Amino acid sequence: MEDLILVTGGAGFIGSNFILQWLAPESTGVLNLDKLTYAGNLSNLESIQSNQYRFEGGDIVDRGLVCALLTREKPRAIVHFAAESHVDRSIHGPDDFIRTNVNGTFSLLEEARAYWSALPESDRALFRFLHVSTDEVYGSLGPSDPPFSETTPYAPNSPYSASKAASDHLVRAYHHTYGLPVLTTNCSNNYGPFQFPEKLIPLMILNACQGKSLPVYGDGKNVRDWLYVEDHCRAIRKVLARGRVGETYNIGARSEKNNLEIVGAICQLLDGLRPADPVVPHNQLITFVKDRPGHDRRYAMDTRKIERELDWHPQESFASGLEKTVRWYLEHEDWVRSVTSGSYRQWMAKHYASER
């Protein structure tokens, strides 16, 4: 077994942040397996100079490819980010979500099990399969309900969250049935650098700068726990290093905000940073659109387990994380232009036209 980890989906938002963070202090190499769908972008990783990093283009559903990579590279761990992750896209076209999130995770688990089973006993004890998932598998909370814990029953409400719930169950089953040494993390809403601008925070930043409408679903009171992506990556590293095999760890920032609060905070930052934009104050651009079907009202995470067992705590407040995020998008116009292609514009026009 080599001093190497295999990261799936490492060209996506969270995966690329994880790899960049991993290569800074770690001597362990990274092999990044990514299909490079619309949200995967190798330019996210272009700053890497290390010879400890390599990229492999391919699909986790391709079991022959996964088998060949595991046999050749002999990683000591798999960190599984690869997933279709946008709720709106899952509503319009759930097929890709079942294929990647369910079938892809199954394929990866099967090949990981075969690889792990053939390892020498000492290497078997060290190997880990870390599966990155979401708080959305737990369903929706009422205003006064306690936050989701690791024992909250699953109740997914969208094709996306159902596909992630299915993958979580498969990971759990492969541990309990076959003994595969798995770890699962369920995180709250991430934000930060390199997030594809169909998601709320980057979409609002970019629209506001251009004087475009800021579309807010329903009454804007849907609540999420907002987690800065680098804090999430630090948590994953702790779980991989010290997490108990077979366990699940919830990761969140104890930072519940509703959508209107988020958009208002972005507008306030931009008022100071971009006073010459077409429309200032930027909050004049807020537009309410028809609510998303089955839109969960509130998510919140009980993070006491990871705090207690692994001594992890977020380093960023929401205010500090949001300011870093807004500044990053303003300072990376080339990256923004490269990802907001014709296909992106067509998707956004089609989607929000149907929501009015």
From 160, 191, 299, 329, active-site residue: 160
Predicted confidence band at 5 (pLDDT cuts at 50, 70, 90)? very high
- Residue 54 predicted with pLDDT over 80: yes
Give Cβ neighbours of residue 85 (< 8 Å, ≥ 6 apart). 12, 39, 134, 160
CATH number at residue 68: 3.40.50.720
| Predicted local distance difference test score (pLDDT) of residue 276 | 98
11-36 mean pLDDT: 94
From 59, 136, 198, 296, active-site residue: 136
Q: DSSP state, 135?
A: G
> Would you call 249 helix, strand, or coil by DSSP?
strand
Rounded Cα distance between 6 and 80, Å, is 8
| Predicted local distance difference test score (pLDDT) of residue 352 | 46
Identify whether 83 is part of a domain: yes
Domain that holds residue 234: 4-196+227-256+298-317
Cα–chain center distance at 49: 24
Higher-confidence position of 286 and 346: 286
Identify whether 47 is part of a domain: yes
Q: Tell me whether residue 225 is one of the annotated catalytic residues.
A: no
Predicted confidence band at 161 (pLDDT cuts at 50, 70, 90)? very high
Can you read off the two tokens belonging to residue 97?
Answer: 């979500």
Q: How many independent structural domains does the chain possess?
A: 1
| Predicted local distance difference test score (pLDDT) of residue 90 | 67
Predicted confidence band at 347 (pLDDT cuts at 50, 70, 90)? very low
- Residue 349 predicted with pLDDT over 90: no
Rounded Cα distance between 15 and 274, Å, is 30
From 34, 135, 198, 230, active-site residue: 135
Residues 11 and 32 sit within 8 Å (Cβ to Cβ)? yes
Give start and end residues of each alpha helix (H) in 56-196. 63-73, 87-92, 95-97, 105-117, 121-126, 159-178
The tens digit of pLDDT for each residue in 165-212 reads: 999 999 999 999 999 999 999 999 999 999 998 899 999 999 999 999
Identify whether 169 is part of a domain: yes
Question: Which is nearest to 1 in space by CA: 144, 126, 143?
Answer: 126
In percent, how much of the chain has pLDDT > 90?
84
DSSP run (H or E) holding 226? strand 223-228
Identify whether 103 is part of a domain: yes
250-269 mean pLDDT: 98
> Would you call 142 helix, strand, or coil by DSSP?
coil
Cis before 281 (ω within 30): yes
Identify whether 23 is part of a domain: yes
| Predicted local distance difference test score (pLDDT) of residue 40 | 85
User: How wide is the angle at C-alpha 189 spanned by C-alphas 133 and 145, nearest 5°?
Assistant: 90
Residues 21 and 34 sit within 8 Å (Cβ to Cβ)? no
The tens digit of pLDDT for each residue in 86-141 reads: 667 768 788 889 999 999 999 999 999 999 999 999 999 999 999 999 999 999 99
Identify whether 79 is part of a domain: yes
The tens digit of pLDDT for each residue in 270-320 reads: 999 999 999 999 999 999 999 988 889 999 999 999 999 999 999 999 999
| Predicted local distance difference test score (pLDDT) of residue 342 | 53
Question: Which is nearest to 94 in space by CA: 189, 11, 161?
Answer: 161
Identify whether 323 is part of a domain: no
Number of H helices, E strands in the chain: 14, 12
Q: Tell me whether residue 135 is one of the annotated catalytic residues.
A: yes
Predicted confidence band at 145 (pLDDT cuts at 50, 70, 90)? very high
For the chain, give the mean pLDDT.
93
Burial class (CB in 10 A: 0-12, 13-18, 19+), 349: exposed
| Predicted local distance difference test score (pLDDT) of residue 14 | 97
Q: Tell me whether residue 178 is one of the annotated catalytic residues.
A: no
SS3 content of the chain, % helix, strand, coil (to 5): 45, 15, 35
Identify whether 183 is part of a domain: yes
| Predicted local distance difference test score (pLDDT) of residue 187 | 98
